[in-house]
Structure 1
């Protein structure tokens, strides 16, 4: 078979169309780590650096151990990203109790993104929006 510029161009067009079709049916990459946290929300994670189970909050939760709410996060939060415009307080007991003299175990200001210090990891049972 004689190769001509027309047959080469036809092969390129067919090959390009097949590649485009393959790209069109490939599922998009799911967000990972901190990138899973939507704008305007407080997100907590069961692992460091935004890994593990994610909990997404608008107002907090009086008891992370009770339903409804994200499963598996009671005393199992290691990192946080506060993408909201409010501060949040984290408490070691349900109903916003326990912690230091002011009752708060950890204060997470708006825009904060971090892994908790080891002494604050896996100690949160309730989360309260402070305003």
Structure 2
């Protein structure tokens, strides 16, 4: 009798565990994957694809698998971000500001273009405004 009761209780517990609805947490996607306080780069447009989250200057994005691969970004820091065309903060720079304007797709000429990221400058020679990027 004791073994039968034990088997019945174990079976009831198993059924209850299966019958209870699981609380499925919504996984962040797109730009929402970027943690607060980080500067994030994405290999796809609109925050899709692979993502890296930076909290300090990074002289070689290749070490993180993002060298010349980023197509969009989000600056969730209080810093001005300087994006360099070359490794070790060489070449030309563009700026990603903090705040609501620091999120979006790169102009087509700047997709798959950047190789290092510097927090708070001083920056370098401007890469200029890409064609069609002034409006």
Question: What is the TM-score of this pair, normalised by structure 1?
Answer: 0.73
Residue in 2 that maps onto 1:89: 82
* In the alignment, structure 1 residue 109 sits paired with structure 2 residue 97: yes
Runs (4+) of structure 1 exceeding 3 A deviation are: 17-20
- In angstroms, what is the RMSD of aligned CA positions? 1.9
Aligned partner of 1:119 among 109, 112, 131: 109
The Cα of 1:30 is off from its aligned counterpart by: 1.3
Q: How far apart in 1 are the matches of 2:28 and 2:114? A: 25
Instruction: Give 5+ residue unaligned stretches, structure 2.
Output: 1-15, 122-135
2:52 maps to 55
Total equivalences in the alignment: 104
| 1:28 CA displacement | 2.0
After superposition, the C-alpha distances for 1:57-91 in whole angstroms (9 at most, x for unaligned) are 0113101113xxx22x1000000000100001001
TM-score, normalization by structure 2 = 0.71
Structure 1 residue 50: Cα displacement = 0.2
